[in-house]
Chains A and B, each alone.
Chain A
């Protein structure tokens, strides 16, 4: 699942083109007005996702990945956020739709799970009550039927002794169990789109793998399309078909998971890759962190947003990186990169950098 063949069908993120994708985000922009000025948290993000596929949105904290999905779900407060662009769910634009219409779609056609399952479940209500509520808001069924459906889902997500657990409060469950409950609640009305916002970040490493396995199982069973928001490239390798790498509210590289893992052409992505622990490297191999911190959204660098932290800006003639904002340009089928460095040079650099780990597979 992790390695998609090169000729896999990936729609290039071209704005304005007609698309058959199930979720088609086009030139999404989100601005918040704060006391310190207008913050553009998301700036022209586009991506597409087919039914039953997984798209990973990767980036550091503050890169705009959560804001993007909250905008798609209609969870941003319209009084605070100004959203432009389009997010087509099966052809229907969620950004221009009424909030009432988006609410109807939430929980039925699209659902979401969050980072911290403890704070995401209501502490005063039993798990069963919260599940039953999720069923009954969308379906006209009796409490008993809704409860039966809840029990079925709890069993499906692997909660042991579900008939007893259903009357537990969230604080009585373990972290992994709580995230299973969240998944059960999200999938209880068979949504076609699931947005998972860092679903494993708050969990133990052993439990992380279980949750990822569970999501993969459920995806193949129900054919759910998944947007997986994460900063954990290990999780991405396990699940994603396509990857969008975000930095400073923009997409800096996008492509099939295989492209990102073995043919990445963007220095920021290289940085992310170099900071992931890997089993296949020598045990004395050091992890290389990306120097510096993400840019303040209030004071974006004028040129390439990644320039202040980029070790390769000397590869570009003059000071283009300081002055000119690079465009997201095609680097191969379904693969696009936002970088001023010449493509041939980028490939050379990447080949040197990852010679050991990419090996033969990385050769074009």
Chain B
């Protein structure tokens, strides 16, 4: 197990390095002069060149990459002499448009996106797995048919549509909830909850639809397994058969699917944060893309990629804990 983790972490490190290179090259290949973007309308060529030098954009691409990576681990100093400023590690770059260090930008927005993402995952797993199991146990009966139909319904709508419909009816038409505005959990838990509930449902409903179908089919397959018949032949009560023997095996693929779907969370966060105007990383990413704030774009992509890699490692390790047959590798 230790060797396995070590190997996985090693591979992961290389993938991160590769990802950082791709991200870096890609965003530097954008047909826009990053230095020219650093100052506004009343810009003079002198200022542009000064900024180019301060940001190290006059160096070769390879040198810039080294500077960038160095900054992440050890921090870096932009410019020299009077005009220089320090960007402490982990320094992911400096946004001239926002006049802020990218790391600070991300850290400020992390709680918003984390709140949305965590809640959404819990909600979609809760809804999807519960209704999927219920549908499987009531196969062919009205409960099954209703659940399957509702799941299909939500699965068929794009996230932004669900989000807009929720916003329009729940907030604007019926006034059931205040208009969402970000309140940190630590300041006002109830306010936080009221703000978060619509973004959660916006992301969760479509996924819950998918997870309902997945759980249902997995449970049905598992309940047809020979070892379930063995459990029944021992004289275990049906509840124990399903809980102890069925759920454990039936829900294992759900863990894998969740790991993969975490990768799409950023996409969901972009939509939810945009619709409900919440200052999260998704909104930051979208804004940076439209304004060509390249340092922010690069950093966000890298952080999101790292998150996906870590999430997948956690899922694989979890899989080893659940299924003893996987441990032998």
Contact = CB atoms under 8 A, between A and B. Distances in A.
B226 interface: yes
Contacts of B243: none
B145 to A, nearest CB: 15
Interface in B198-253: 225-227, 229-237, 240, 244-245, 248-249
A296 interface: no
A121 interface: yes
B235 A120 contact: no
B235 A119 contact: no
A123 B233 contact: no
5 contacts: A103-B236, A106-B233, A119-B227, A137-B235, A171-B325
B164 interface: no
A112 B235 CA distance: 11
Contacts of A111: 233-234
A104 B234 contact: no
Contact of A185 (B225, B234, B240, B249): B234
Nearest to A169: B324
Interface string A59-75: 00000000000000101
A122 B227 contact: yes
Contacts of A106: 232-235
B323 A137 contact: no
Contacts of A186: 233
Given A73-B233, A122-B227, A122-B230, 20 more contacts: A75-B232, A104-B235, A106-B233, A106-B235, A107-B234, A107-B235, A108-B235, A120-B230, A122-B231, A122-B245, A123-B227, A123-B323, A123-B325, A124-B248, A133-B236, A133-B244, A137-B235, A138-B235, A169-B325, A182-B230
Contacts of B248: 124
Interface of A: 73, 75, 103-108, 111-112, 114, 116, 119-124, 133-134, 137-138, 169, 171, 182, 185-186
A114 B226 contact: yes
Contacts, number: 67
Contacts of B134: none
B225 A124 contact: no
Contact of B249 (A105, A120, A123, A134): A123
B322 interface: yes
Interface in B302-324: 322-324
B230 A137 contact: no
Nearest to B240: A137
A107 to B, nearest CB: 3
A108 B235 CA distance: 8
A106 B236 CA distance: 9
B229 A103 contact: no
Contacts of A171: 324-325
B319 to A, nearest CB: 11
Q: Which of B232, B234, B240 has the most CB of A within 10 A?
A: B234
